[in-house]
């Protein structure tokens, strides 16, 4: 896990060549253990390092033995041992034990198809000096981020958007389409971001950049990687072998690792699996809230910790601590992401970083094995929703601000974009094969939108702001392919989801109540957004230039008045508060300086 950035400037461009030291400073939180840079002709590569594999010898950039290839990479190549063995047998000479060095010689051996041979989570930039071409790639599921800025015919890239902001001729500007997606979903979808000119490299995508332009191709597509497994016994045996291989590759590390433990199915199964591969006690971390009426996962996690003999840490939070974490979490998220879980995840990462550099978590289990309740919505209900919002079979039809349109909050420019916020969801649904079931389509839509653009962005940015690497074995692409191709009745049965994983989990967790209702990080914002706190939120929104650029002040006042009368509008208010803080940090200040982790979340004077 690291930070990468760089550029490709053709001779004819008017693009600005950034200062590598400036990029390094902006991304230093992602790589506190070292840094390096490479500048040669049109290309610059910058790297900040979090040392996980070969801590002594794995400094980047990495170079081929003849000096013609240079690489900076973020993430882990999980099959580097196998890949290194194959390439060494063919005569390639490795100079480090870094997992990422295998990318250099895989490219040399297999050409542009080299990522077909790579298993891992990664974002990288590889410069081929002999051919004057720069390759940018991102892992299959989008576990690691990579952003792109095209400006004055130059190409700039970075692990975080904030590293690209200094390249702009002035202050970055908000993209109304990206903002509309954020306001309706809580995140931006696909290649869109909330900043004009900045896009994402898509999951499973490889870019080849030369003086002639950019060639984009997909080296992996979930829709093309589908087969069918029939009988449950054979399926369980197949998964047993698969998850064993995946876990053995994922635990490769030269530093200790731990686990975020919620007591739910996904983290419980991971704990049981991790315990198979180590004789040392595993460090586990859980969070709970000092709030009445909020599900508390601490007792379930504590029971699992005692069963497996982990070194367990509990974090007890209250609303004051979490609210004061909000500016830091918004800065860490980099993108506009309103996910409540950013706050407890940031707190967990801060505590765990005192002990570890690597932590496992259960992200992906719900998407891969169909755990969400929205996958079990009755067909008649979906049909009715589809009448009003066609294109996704009645799935993901409701926008966050739909039920407050009567309050006339937004100005005309953003109102026009709000009507098209579902476009990426409709496109994903419509691209699925005809033979797929409705359940498979719902999973696929989440896997290519919600998962990379919200959940995985949360895991990466919240952890990396504390110099931590997050590993998500359920999102190994082989597990994802397996989960999606399971028969529907092995995933959903009546009112229960994630059926296959629960049945299989009883093998390794005998006696554990694995069928209990899903737990998760629940943040009680409804009880926060009232009284004096709600008053300060209103003053903050009305004082925010960014919010008022897109919202009518009278509309904001109406929204807050409606919340005081009936506290049913917490989520829309929460999104606007995020927008105000994000705008203050990234647009209204001179530079994207990090706020303190414990800081008043409201604009001064509010």
Is residue 119 within 8 A of residue 79, CB to CB? The reply is yes
Domain with CATH 3.40.50.620 in the chain: 222-528
Q: Quote the percentage of the chain above a pLDDT of 70.
A: 95
Q: What digits encode the pLDDT tens for the residues 501-518?
A: 999 999 999 878 787 765
350: helix, strand or coil: helix
Where in the chain do CATH 3.60.20.10 domains reside? 2-220
**CATH topology assigned to domain 222-528:** Rossmann fold (3.40.50)
Q: For 264, what's the count of Cα atoms within 13 Å in the CB-facing half-sphere?
A: 23
The candidate with the shortest Cα–Cα distance to 190, out of 375, 388, 452, is: 452
- Examine the pLDDT at 232 and tell me if it is beyond 70: no
- Using the predicted structure, report yes or no on whether residue 228 has a pLDDT greater than 60: no
Looking at the predicted structure, is the pLDDT value of residue 568 above 70?
yes
Q: What is the pLDDT of residue 14?
A: 65
Confidence (pLDDT) at 145: 98
d(CA 51, CA 253): 10
Mean pLDDT of 46-67: 93
Q: Which DSSP string do the residues of 448-478 spell out, in sequence order?
A: HTHIIIIIHHHHHHHHHTTT-EEE-GGGSHH
- Residue 406 in tokens: 């009567």
How large is the average pLDDT for residues 275-302? 84
% of the chain exceeding 90 in pLDDT: 82
Looking at the domain that runs over 2-220, which CATH code has it been given? Answer: 3.60.20.10
Question: Would you state the pLDDT for residue 333?
Answer: 97
* Residue pair 123/200 in contact by the 8 Å Cβ criterion: no
Q: For residue 443, which phi and psi values (nearest 5 degrees)?
A: -60, -45
User: Mean pLDDT lowest for which of 40-44, 244-248, 449-453?
Assistant: 40-44
**C-alpha span between 2 and 49 (Å, rounded):** 5
């Amino acid at each position: 896990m690291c930070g990468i950035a760089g550029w490709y400037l053709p001779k004819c461009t008017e693009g600005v060549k950034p200062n590598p030291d400036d990029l390094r400073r902006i991304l230093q939180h992602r790589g506190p253990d070292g840094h390096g840079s490479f500048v040669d002709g049109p290309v610059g590569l910058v790297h900040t390092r979090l040392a996980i594999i070969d801590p002594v010898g794995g400094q980047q950039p990495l170079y081929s033995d003849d000096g013609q290839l240079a690489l900076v990479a973020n993430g882990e190549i999980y099959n580097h041992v196998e890949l290194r063995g194959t390439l060494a047998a063919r005569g390639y000479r490795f100079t480090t034990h870094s997992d990422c060095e295998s990318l250099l010689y895989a490219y040399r051996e297999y050409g542009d198809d080299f990522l077909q041979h790579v298993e891992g989570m990664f974002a990288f930039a590889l410069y081929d000096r002999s051919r004057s071409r720069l390759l940018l790639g991102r892992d299959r599921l989008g576990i690691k981020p990579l952003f792109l800025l095209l400006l004055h015919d130059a190409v700039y890239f970075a692990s975080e958007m904030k590293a690209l902001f200094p390249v702009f001729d002035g202050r970055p500007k908000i993209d109304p389409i990206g903002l509309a997606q954020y306001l309706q979903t809580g995140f931006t979808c696909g290649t869109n971001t909330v900043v004009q000119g900045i896009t994402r490299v898509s999951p499973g995508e490889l870019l080849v950049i030369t003086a002639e332009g950019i060639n984009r191709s997909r080296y992996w597509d979930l829709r093309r990687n589908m087969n069918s497994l029939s009988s449950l016994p054979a399926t369980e045996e197949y998964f047993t072998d698969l998850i064993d291989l995946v876990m053995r590759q994922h635990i490769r590390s030269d530093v200790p690792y731990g686990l975020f433990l919620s007591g739910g199915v996904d983290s419980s199964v991971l704990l049981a699996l991790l315990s198979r591969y180590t004789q040392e006690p595993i460090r586990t971390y859980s969070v709970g809230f000092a709030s009445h009426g909020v599900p508390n996962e601490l007792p379930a996690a504590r029971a699992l910790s005692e069963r497996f003999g982990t070194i367990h840490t509990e974090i007890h939070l209250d609303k004051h601590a979490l609210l004061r974490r909000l500016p830091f979490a918004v800065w860490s998220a980099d993108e506009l992401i309103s996910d409540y879980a950013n706050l407890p995840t940031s707190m967990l990462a801060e505590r765990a970083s005192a002990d570890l550099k690597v932590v496992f978590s259960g992200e992906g289990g719900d998407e891969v094995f169909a755990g969400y309740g929205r996958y079990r919505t009755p067909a008649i209900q979906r049909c009715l929703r589809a009448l009003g919002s066609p294109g996704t079979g009645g799935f993901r039809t409701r926008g966050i601000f739909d039920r407050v349109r009567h309050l006339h909050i937004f100005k005309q420019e953003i109102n026009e974009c709000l009507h098209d916020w579902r476009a990426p969801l409709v496109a994903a649904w419509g691209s699925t094969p005809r033979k797929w079931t409705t359940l498979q389509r719902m999973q696929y839509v989440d896997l290519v939108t919600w998962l990379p653009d919200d959940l995985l962005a949360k895991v990466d940015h919240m952890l990396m702001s504390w110099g931590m690497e997050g590993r998500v074995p359920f999102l190994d692409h082989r597990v994802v392919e397996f989960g999606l191709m399971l028969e529907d009745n092995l995933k959903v049965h009546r009112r229960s989801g994630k059926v296959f994983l629960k049945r299989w989990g009883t093998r390794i967790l005998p006696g554990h109540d694995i069928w209990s209702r899903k737990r998760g990080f629940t943040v009680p914002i409804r009880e926060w957004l009232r009284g004096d706190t709600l008053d300060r939120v209103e003053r903050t929104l009305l004082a925010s230039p960014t919010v008022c650029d897109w919202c009518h002040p009278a509309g904001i006042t109406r929204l807050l008045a409606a919340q005081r009368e009936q506290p049913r509008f917490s989520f829309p208010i929460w999104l606007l508060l995020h927008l105000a803080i994000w705008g203050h940090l990234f647009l209204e200040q001179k530079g994207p300086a990090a706020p303190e982790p414990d800081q008043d979340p409201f604009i001064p004077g509010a």
